[in-house]
């Protein structure tokens, strides 16, 4: 008998945001993500995530698990005891610019970003990893150190339930503050639209990378910020400064997209220089898919180290 594989259907972000409880939204995303993995021919890290990690160039091949490789067609090595517990701190943008959206095109960036952070925190907690949270606008407003304990996830989800109330963004100042608060090496997950001046951004990112943290950046954008798909002339308000500007979108679109592309190119160059994986997503992308991309990505700085090692050996 021929069986047709069931195609996995992703959760629509608009429908997901109709669930008022952030805890229930996070659980729905994780369960949808796990369900998709079980239907996918690429399964491999779902059940072995806490005990294995993907092979990286330079790893000792003696620790490859050939059984897992035969079953999944992916290369994994066994993790040692000190590798099995992750410390992850989420740094989530609570500035007013994240309140853009919530229209017929896409959900609010703040809802999407907070749901992503909550979903990943839920997943990591199930893996017995320590999770923490820093919320920021001009500065770090709340900081919960990463811990693994019974009520930690509930505390983090409670903070993420709070609606963003900040004004302008100063990501660099916030990173300087967080760098002084985090202790042991771990993962730092930046969740922001990154639509703020990039002056000194690379220096501030290096505060984490130089200390050995695995830094990852999730840039959350509304589709209209990507394509500037407005039709009629209107008054546009800067959500952080409150300044109003009368614009004809048709005339302003080309200049806007040039600046938008230049800004993101500069941002990508900074991430690449620091070995930071960057994930640019819009609020229409299913969160299960973003979660899978995130978990499959190994630290880009490992690639940078390998390239430098290769260059030294060649010399």
Q: What is the pLDDT of residues 124-145, one digit of tens each?
A: 998 889 999 999 998 999 999 9
pLDDT of residue 266: 96
Per-residue model confidence (pLDDT) at position 3: 43
Sheet holding 187-192, edge to edge: 140-147, 130-136, 87-93, 187-192, 214-221, 278-282
Half-sphere exposure of residue 229: CA atoms within 13 angstroms, side-chain side: 10
Residue 309: per-residue pLDDT: 47
At 128 the pLDDT is 86
CATH topology of domain 85-298: Rossmann fold (3.40.50)
Q: Indicate the domain borders of the chain.
A: 15-78, 85-298
pTM over 0.85: no
| pLDDT score, position 300 | 47
pLDDT confidence of residue 313:
53
Q: What pLDDT is recorded for position 93?
A: 95
176 HSE (CA, 13 A, CB side): 11
Q: How many angstroms separate the CA atoms of 244 and 239, rounded?
A: 9
Radius of gyration of the chain (CA): 21
CB neighbours of 28 closer than 8 A, spacing ≥ 6? 11, 16, 19
Residues of the chain with confidence (pLDDT) below 70: 1-8, 36-84, 166, 230-252, 298-315
What are 12-64's pLDDT values in tens digits? Answer: 999 999 999 999 999 999 998 887 664 544 433 333 344 555 656 666 555 56
Give the per-residue pLDDT at 6: 47
Quick count: other Cβ atoms within 10 Å of Cβ 189?
Answer: 24
């Amino acid at each position: 008998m021929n069986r047709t594989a069931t195609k996995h259907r992703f959760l629509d972000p608009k429908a997901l945001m109709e669930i008022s409880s952030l805890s229930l939204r996070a659980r729905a995303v994780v369960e949808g993500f796990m369900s998709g993995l079980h239907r996918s021919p690429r399964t491999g890290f779902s059940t072995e995530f806490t005990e294995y990690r993907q092979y990286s160039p330079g790893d000792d091949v003696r620790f490859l698990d050939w059984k897992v490789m035969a079953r999944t067609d992916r290369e994994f090595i066994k993790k040692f005891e000190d590798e099995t517990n992750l410390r992850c701190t989420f740094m989530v943008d609570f500035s007013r610019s994240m309140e853009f959206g919530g229209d017929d095109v896409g959900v609010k960036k703040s809802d999407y970003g907070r749901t992503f952070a909550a979903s990943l925190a839920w997943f990591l907690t199930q893996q017995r990893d320590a999770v923490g949270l820093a919320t920021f606008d001009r500065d770090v407003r709340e900081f919960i150190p990463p811990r693994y304990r019974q009520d930690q996830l509930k505390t983090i989800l409670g903070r993420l339930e709070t609606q963003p109330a900040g004004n302008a963004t100063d990501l660099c100042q916030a990173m300087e503050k967080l760098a002084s608060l985090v202790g042991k090496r771990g993962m730092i997950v930046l969740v922001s639209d990154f639509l703020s001046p990039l002056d000194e951004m690379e220096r501030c990112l290096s505060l984490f990378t130089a200390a050995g943290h695995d830094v990852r950046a999730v840039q959350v954008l509304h589709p209209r910020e990507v394509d500037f798909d407005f039709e009629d002339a209107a008054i546009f308000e800067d959500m952080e400064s409150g300044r109003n500007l009368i614009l004809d979108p048709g005339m302003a679109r080309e200049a806007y997209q040039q600046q938008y592309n230049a800004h993101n190119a500069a941002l990508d160059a900074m991430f690449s220089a620091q070995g930071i994986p960057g994930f640019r997503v819009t609020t229409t992308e299913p969160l299960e898919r973003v979660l899978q991309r995130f978990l499959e990505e190994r630290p880009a700085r490992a690639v940078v180290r390998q390239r430098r090692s290769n260059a030294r050996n060649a010399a």
